[in-house]
Amino acid sequence: MRIFRYLENLRPYLGVITEGGDTYRLDAPDIMSLVADARISGLSTAAYVERMLGSLSAITAPAESLNLTTPLDAPEVWAAGVTYQRSREARNYEATEGRLDADTFYDKVYDAERPELFMKSTAARTVGPGESVCLRSDSTWQVPEAELGLVLDSSGAIIGYTAGNDMSCRDIEGENPLYLPQAKIWKRSCSIGPFVRLAETVADPYALSIACRIYRDGALVVEETAHTGLLKRKLEDLVSFLKRDNELFDGTVLLTGTCLVPPNQFTLASGDRIEIEIQGIGTLVNTVICADELDTAPIHA
């Protein structure tokens, strides 16, 4: 069961796609309100929605044809680094200027008990499906990072799963690890969506295939595939460190790291189309724009 948001006459609505593929409009204003209502009823969110289906208005158009926006306004988006071997290799390549025979701090992070966690984005910096992600003006080596995102409540419970794009500047991060915030955080450097798959409807979150495709001038120039079974750390372990002596807010999203990295010679360009697909969740599509091409309009309509 997947939850989404869409705009109709500039008004946001919440929708659901059932396991059978039917689509309905929900009365709740947002996903966390829906979760709260379900808990008051003593039901899981999926069971609560199932019980309401007979009274909901059907949406006849395919969800993908609607004016989709971020599935929730995540107050904070956090991210985990070096959680996959492929990410470890890429970070080492950046840090050593291509040498693969030297140990680095990324090796220590990969093997340590404590994961790398960092603030990635806020609601104002995060875009949704169909919107543009931005290239940083002072970087010449930028890539998307396809990641499984965890939607959390304030206790750290995993409410659902979504697709995320952790845009990254490989040259800035590789130059000095202390530059990580600048390599990760800027306007429109994060995208999530288009759907949130309710956690109770996912049999095994470590058995999800992930694909990243990049198109330039209509031609496929990058295609990488992997699966969440390659994740070294447990999802609950990442969450436990995130909430340690920290305050979580309902709707916080935690991106769990990337297992897909474009070839080392590749960098994004304005006009590229990024597709991030996670099995059973959906495909997040964004176009790429340079910072100096942005106007002053708000990110969300």
Tell me the C-alpha distance between 34 and 72, whole Å: 12
**Taken in order 184, 188, 193, 194, is the CA torsion positive or negative?**
negative
Tell me the C-alpha distance between 92 and 105, whole Å: 9
**Taken in order 268, 252, 259, 91, is the CA torsion positive or negative?**
positive
**Residue tagged 């969110």 (tokens):** 45
Both tokens of residue 135? Answer: 């290239």
150 touches 228 (CB < 8 A) = no
- Write the Ramachandran bin of 28: left for phi over 0, alpha for psi from -120 to 50, otherwise beta: beta
Number of neighbours of residue 29 by Cβ within 10 angstroms = 12
Tell me the β-bridge partners of 165: 146, 191
- The H or E element spanning position 219 is strand 219-227
State the angle between helix axes of 31-40 and 45-52 in degrees (0 to 180), rounded to the nearest 10: 90
pLDDT in tens, the chain (301 residues): 999 999 999 899 999 999 999 999 999 999 999 999 999 999 999 999 999 998 999 999 999 999 999 999 999 999 999 888 777 676 767 677 665 555 777 777 778 899 999 999 999 999 999 999 999 999 999 999 999 999 999 999 999 999 999 999 999 998 998 999 999 999 999 999 999 999 999 999 999 999 999 999 999 999 999 999 999 999 999 999 999 999 999 999 999 999 898 999 999 999 999 999 999 999 999 999 999 888 644 454 3
83 touches 115 (CB < 8 A) = yes
Burial 98-114 (b: 16+ CB within 10 A, else e): eeeeeebebeebbeeee
What are the distances in angstroms from CA 296 to CA 68, 184, 191, 270? 21, 22, 19, 18
183 touches 198 (CB < 8 A) = no
Return the closest-CA partner of residue 18 out of 70, 58, 65, 71: 58
What are the distances in angstroms from CA 231 to CA 237, 260, 272? 12, 11, 28
